[in-house]
């Protein structure tokens, strides 16, 4: 029988456990999360299990990626339940450090992917992607995995982290897994727990807007401005939703594209009450 998941809270112990995996010649997969796990997270764990001999996950609600008026204090924390889920899926190592362990007093170093970190979610959330890049850089150095698993749900985060890994020559394969949705289409998110019954229903407008754009694009409309207009119209049909952005961009640079003929990321962010939700679809160019 497999050993239960080993919970580790110090960097030194996590490094030692991960180095031992590599020393004995096994491959190591890594799934970083902020906890409050749902099927989206678990799909990353399953992907890691299928590709790597040993799987490590982390649960760390990273204070650095929350703005001063954001939901750090109320972010859902369900460590006991999360641990059980990870154990059931056969995760070997769970890194769950404290904020002091990750950012001891006097820490002064940040990782910033300039030019990307202020786009899409970075525009509404100044400093967010600097916090994400900094914590993921630290986690990748602590774990030194062969493969790290991320969700397409956070498409701008994927662009920022891919660029960071490339620019810093980090020796890790980034594996990006598809968005996992509820049966009615809502993208799974730990923040869905903030929605009341009405808002949960209203939140479907994000997916609806993407599906409308998808079907118009499938019928041959390639003009990004027109697709954005159509997406925004759908969002406007739900008066409770406050649009942050509806964008058609290059998935790597996050720069706007004029048309989607060479593929594009269609991304939306909107508030339901004070809850900010995001969703996207990736249009792959023909022949790729």
Catalytic residue numbers read 41
> CA-CA distances (angstroms) from residue 213 to 8, 11, 156, 210, 234?
45, 45, 19, 5, 9
Distance of closest approach, residue 44 Cβ to ligand AMP, in angstroms? 6
Q: What is the residue whose two structure tokens read 């009341």?
A: 196
Q: Which of residues 169-188 bind ligand AMP (CB under 6 A)?
A: 177, 179-180, 187-188
Dist CA 186 CA 203 (whole Å): 7
Nearer to ligand AMP (CB atom), residue 177 or residue 260:
177
> Which of 287, 285, 250, 286 is CA-nearest to residue 266?
250
Q: What is the 3-state secondary structure (H, E, C) of 26-68?
A: CCEEEEEECCCCCHHHHHHHHHHHHHCCEEEEEECCCHHHCCC
Please count the residues of this chain forming the interface with ligand AMP, following the rule CB under 6 A: 17
Q: Is 150 in the site for ligand AMP (CB under 6 A)?
A: yes
Distance of closest approach, residue 224 Cβ to ligand AMP, in angstroms? 24
Residue closest to ligand AMP (Cβ): 151
Nearer to ligand AMP (CB atom), residue 39 or residue 198:
39
Beta bridge partners of 30: 56, 148
| Residue 258, number of CB atoms within 10 A of its CB | 11
Residue 208 contacts by C-beta under 8 Å, 6 or more apart in sequence?
185, 234
Distance of closest approach, residue 184 Cβ to ligand AMP, in angstroms? 13
What element of type H or E holds 155?
helix 155-167
Distance of closest approach, residue 264 Cβ to ligand AMP, in angstroms? 19
What tokens were used for 133? Answer: 């890049």
Distance of closest approach, residue 32 Cβ to ligand AMP, in angstroms? 6
| Residue 12, number of CB atoms within 10 A of its CB | 10
Q: Is 58 in the site for ligand AMP (CB under 6 A)?
A: no
Q: Is 267 in the site for ligand AMP (CB under 6 A)?
A: no
Dist CA 159 CA 172 (whole Å): 15
Q: Which of 17, 29, 30, 43 binds ligand AMP (CB under 6 A)?
A: 43
Q: Which of 83, 190, 192, 280 binds ligand AMP (CB under 6 A)?
A: 190
Nearer to ligand AMP (CB atom), residue 45 or residue 224:
45
By CB under 6 A, name the binding residues for ligand AMP: 33-34, 40-41, 43-44, 150-151, 153-154, 177, 179-180, 187-190
């Amino acid at each position: 029988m497999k050993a239960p998941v080993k919970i580790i809270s110090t960097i030194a112990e996590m490094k030692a456990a991960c180095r031992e995996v590599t020393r004995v010649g096994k491959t190591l997969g890594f799934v970083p999360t902020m906890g409050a796990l749902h099927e989206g997270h678990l799909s990353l764990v399953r992907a890691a299990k299928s590709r790597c001999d040993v799987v490590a996950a982390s649960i760390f609600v990273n204070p650095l990626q929350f703005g001063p008026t954001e939901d750090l204090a109320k972010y859902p924390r369900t460590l006991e339940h999360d641990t059980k889920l990870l154990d059931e899926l056969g995760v070997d190592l769970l890194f769950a450090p404290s904020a002091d362990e990750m950012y001891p007093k006097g820490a002064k170093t940040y990782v910033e992917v300039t030019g990307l970190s202020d786009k899409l979610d970075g525009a509404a959330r100044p400093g967010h992607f600097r916090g994400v890049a900094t914590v993921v850089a630290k986690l990748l150095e602590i774990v030194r995995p062969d493969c790290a698993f991320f969700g397409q749900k956070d498409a701008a985060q994927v662009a920022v982290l891919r660029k960071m890994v490339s620019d810093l020559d980090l020796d890790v394969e980034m594996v990006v897994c598809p968005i996992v949705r509820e049966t009615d289409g809502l993208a799974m998110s730990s923040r869905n727990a903030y929605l009341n019954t009405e808002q949960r229903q209203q939140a479907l407008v994000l997916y609806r807007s993407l599906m409308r754009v998808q079907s118009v694009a499938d019928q041959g409309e390639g003009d990004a401005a027109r697709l954005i207009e159509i997406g925004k119209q759908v969002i406007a049909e739900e008066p409770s939703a406050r649009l942050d952005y509806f964008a058609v961009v290059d998935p790597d640079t996050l720069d706007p594209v004029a048309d989607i003929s060479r593929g594009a990321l269609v991304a939306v962010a909107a508030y339901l009450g004070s809850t900010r939700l995001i969703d996207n679809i990736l249009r792959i160019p023909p022949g790729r």
